[in-house]
Amino acid sequence: MDRLPSRVNLAFKGFDINTIICPICYVGGDSRDHTFIFCYVANMIWRRIRVWTAVTWPTIITVEDFFIWMDSYTGSTSNKVRLYSIVAACLWWIWRYRNDTLHENGAIKERDLFDKIRLSSFSWLQARSKLAPTWNT
């Protein structure tokens, strides 16, 4: 619903924001779609996810595109559940990385993001599902 407290949203709501530039890449505006899709860190993560899952991903322009695509995903039910878990973990960790960069001066390392995403998605699957926590089954 685009209600995250990104710099663009806060400025739009009238908050006095020094800059709306992304705190990670300093290239685009700190909006939901930039942070989760267009920022270089998000791009790096999604490329690694595509290789890991070996799933053909469509071109994603907005965060809604992820959910529209997942609703129409024609893979097996178990792979759909796994894919949803992976996408949710990606969104969660990208947002945490953004906040950490903005507020805590980089305690979470960029090089660790992919491993954190894999671990979180496996942990969520193991805790919430009877599926084996692996992509390849």
- Segment 120-134 shows an average pLDDT of 77
**Where is pLDDT greater, at 7 or 20?**
20
What is the value of pTM for the model shown? 0.85
Q: How many CB atoms lie within 10 A of CB 113?
A: 20
* Predicted confidence (pLDDT) at residue 137 exceeds the cutoff of 50: no
* Predicted confidence (pLDDT) at residue 15 exceeds the cutoff of 70: yes
- Segment 104-130 shows an average pLDDT of 87
Angle of the 113-128 helix axis to the 40-53 helix axis, nearest 10: 50
Structure tokens of 67? 């959910």
Structure tokens of 54? 């070996």
